[in-house]
Structure 1
């Protein structure tokens, strides 16, 4: 079987059997497309060996790919060939001894409570005039921070998923796992204002049926994509945290860190975020530790 054909079969397996998210499948496909450019997409899978895979990683290193990218691509190729061997496409897994470069720990971007408060106050001021897009933007920012949801979960919200009385959202996360997450009073007020005054205006622009359209809509009334949410967060939160490349996950990171700083139980935060592993949630304890160390160095006379 040719590499390109095997990649298509594997991506179908990931989407339909393992039920990974479309974004995850696209990432795997992109990594293997890079391998295809290096060895040739029409190359039979059985002709790809360990040395060829090492050469591919070496070329990626010389062109300046980050350690995180190299580690992810190594994991993609190892998963792909493990599946190919299990499916009987190859007799020997050439990626079994392929070693990823050690990946350094990168702490997520986190805004301080005053910084986040300033961003949300500015958004509320813009929304005070009643502009539909400004009302939507405020509701997006408050929901991302107030419920600590992923951008894909936010964009996938339907009207029936929002319970303003109980202040909960029903979201579908990674692996099509559904969970119910709470949100606070500020997010509830922003959502109510948007649903009553902003969303009907956007719906009229696009002509979508209210019951079938997602909660959050684009400026022209169409479906709101993750890219638009990234642009919104980068434009509003970026200056507050001092980073140009900052996305919706920064608000999720900030919410998780502030919960732990406030004394929330780690397992409760894990449930809120929808993490399969507690180890994933523990990154936020490191963020809090970094803050503590920074305060100590600044304030302690013997630091």
Structure 2
């Protein structure tokens, strides 16, 4: 079986059986195209002819080309998944990627807002016009739930139940989860659904925005890029040059939950993390805060 045929089978497996996200599939497809191009240069026609040395040489070339460690780690992960699939299907008899170690990644402390900064941000939008009402609801929802921006813009009105204070979110890999809405988020969303969204919907062409919870001024679905601009707009108003992304509100949610005593596994569930290790990055932030409080408060620190 040629490398192209095997690649196509693997990508189809990711789409159909694994239900992987489009982002993951696109990234793996790009990684495999690059690896297959390298194999063609080396005259290697099948994945069965690849050795761990082949993979290491491929990664070394990328490293010399200044590829980031995170990029190299993803390519190793991609090749391990590929060969795991190929061995299971009997297309190859061994997994050479197992003998290749993953580049060690630098641990970065997630950027987050302090409580007062978050409060100023979510309360910045004015409530005297539809777009301001929408923006308040959007920011309150992001901070209250920690959902991803892509999950937020994909919401439909029926996904939100203000009666019980919950929302149904479709996460990565089409995995559904329930997130909780605090009192402030419920108030902001109720105001938006009653007074903001109906006015924005009036501008829609042929009801194009009806399926989306958050609409733009034309009455159609708000985009991820638009959310970035909205956050930038209000950050400039309340915090000047402070650099904050929409994803930082997700970091802020997790940090404040853990600071408030929430169990790590509860936060994992609310964030939609498959692995607990993905959530544990926030414990470093809370430990740093505890250390600062201790150093400032204890007389003999």
**TM-score (norm. length: structure 1):** 0.86
Alignment partner of 1:91 out of 87, 93, 97: 93
Q: Distance in 2 between matches of 1:218 and 1:40?
A: 47
Alignment partner of 2:70 out of 68, 71, 74: 68
What is the alpha-carbon root mean square deviation over aligned residues?
2.8
Alignment partner of 1:111 out of 100, 110, 113: 113
For residues 32-62 of structure 1, give each alpha carbon's deviation from its aligned partner in whole angstroms, at most 9, with x where no partner exists: 2332343349953334332232122112212
Does 1:129 pair with 2:122?
no
Task: Report how many aligned residue pairs link the two structures.
Answer: 298
2:14 matched to which residue of 1? 14
On the 8 A contact 1:109/1:241 being kept in 2, the answer is no
Does 1:49 pair with 2:51?
yes
Alignment partner of 2:79 out of 72, 77, 80: 77
On the 8 A contact 1:116/1:240 being kept in 2, the answer is no
Q: Distance in 2 between matches of 1:190 and 1:96?
A: 50
Q: Distance in 2 between matches of 1:2 and 1:235?
A: 51
Does 1:290 pair with 2:288?
yes
27-36 or 101-110, which deviates more? 27-36
Unaligned runs of 5+ in 1: none
Secondary structure of the corresponding residue to residue 179 of structure 2: strand
Residue 148 of structure 1, CA deviation: 1.5
Distance 1:219 1:263, change over 3 A: same
Unaligned runs of 5+ in 2: none
2:32 matched to which residue of 1? 32
Secondary structure of the corresponding residue to residue 181 of structure 1: strand
Q: Distance in 2 between matches of 1:68 and 1:89?
A: 29
Secondary structure of the corresponding residue to residue 19 of structure 1: coil
Runs of 4+ residues deviating >6 angstroms: none
Q: Distance in 1 between matches of 2:206 and 2:50?
A: 49
Secondary structure of the corresponding residue to residue 169 of structure 1: strand
1:222 matched to which residue of 2? 220
219-228 or 38-47, which deviates more? 38-47
Secondary structure of the corresponding residue to residue 212 of structure 2: coil
Secondary structure of the corresponding residue to residue 96 of structure 1: helix
Q: Distance in 2 between matches of 1:66 and 1:235?
A: 31
